[in-house]
Chains A and B, each alone.
Chain A
């Protein structure tokens, strides 16, 4: 059975206060890095999956995100899947 690598990004909803992102953005100026307007911080998760085909692998990732990896009240998720 082929193996797939899923790369998942989970981000806080745009309208939510992201204190981590705000703190990082505020401190960019202290490092003399100019021009940073906004920083949002989320999670990046990578998973190896054994599945019959790409569709099944994508469905496993989708379920994993909806059931556990993301809390849809406050987070959105997106992912890519590639065969390895």
Chain B
């Protein structure tokens, strides 16, 4: 059985949602991890560590800037170096960028506003864990809730992201068209989520864990987790 660990920092607020989805919707073994924990050695490369959304350390200084120095972040880096899957959602994405596990940074939305609503995502490539089983012609409706989601990286990093197929999602409209109107926060190239070169560390601003059951009125998010679990089954032998 795939084991999931969900890290809680002071100020995390999507940890329980993530635990619920992986445990109740996907029947995974799930463990809550406190940010002061010192080791993730009990996790194997085929397991998943989630860094959930929220406002770690009150978003002081910059989103994720303080959380990246928590005790658990060294073990997260070591786990990623062993090929383990690390998924950062919203504040988790910001923490992974601040920690240097993902390139670039998330800046304040170009509208200067906190945006909380459903948006549409288009998978850019199916060669990433969260998009593995997705249809690149389809627009997936997933909620966002952030003030600092404008993805930025320099031109050479952007070229690397494109060349290595590290872009997971782009903001699009309901027809799946990626344009400036659908770029909800002003991100470079409408980028909503990326992964690292080795495709085992992923970050995205939208919240699939808030849209994984029909009772919530939106279940498009579950397809991302189905992708993730399929990817692990397919690639585990490579990662291990």
Give chain A's interface residues, CB within 8 Å of chain B: 16-17, 19-20, 23, 68-69, 71, 73-74
B107 contacts A16, C-beta separation under 8 Å: yes
B109 contacts A71, C-beta separation under 8 Å: no
A74 contacts B61, C-beta separation under 8 Å: no
Bound: A31/B110 CA distance, A: 23
List the B side residues contacting A74 at CB < 8 Å. 105, 107, 152
Residues 98-135 of B at the A interface (beta carbon under 8 Å): 98, 104-105, 107-112
Counting CB contacts under 8 A, is B65 at the interface?
yes
Counting CB contacts under 8 A, is B83 at the interface?
no
19 interchain pairs, CB-CB under 8 A: A19-B109, A19-B111, A19-B112, A20-B108, A20-B112, A23-B112, A68-B61, A68-B66, A68-B69, A69-B61, A71-B65, A71-B98, A71-B105, A73-B105, A73-B152, A73-B153, A73-B154, A74-B107, A74-B152
Whole-angstrom distance between the Cβ of B170 and the nearest chain A Cβ:
19
List the A side residues contacting B152 at CB < 8 Å. 16, 73-74
Contact count band on B: 10 to 19
List the A side residues contacting B66 at CB < 8 Å. 68
Counting CB contacts under 8 A, is B84 at the interface?
no
List the B side residues contacting A73 at CB < 8 Å. 104-105, 152-154
Counting CB contacts under 8 A, is B62 at the interface?
yes
Whole-angstrom distance between the Cβ of A16 and the nearest chain B Cβ:
7
Counting CB contacts under 8 A, is B186 at the interface?
yes
Bound: A63/B154 CA distance, A: 23
Bound: A58/B118 CA distance, A: 47
20 further interface pairs, Cβ-Cβ under 8 Å (given A20-B112, A73-B104, A74-B107) = A16-B107, A16-B152, A17-B110, A17-B186, A19-B108, A19-B109, A19-B110, A19-B111, A20-B108, A23-B112, A68-B65, A68-B66, A68-B69, A71-B65, A71-B98, A73-B105, A73-B153, A73-B154, A74-B105, A74-B152
Bound: A16/B110 CA distance, A: 11
Bound: A68/B69 CA distance, A: 9
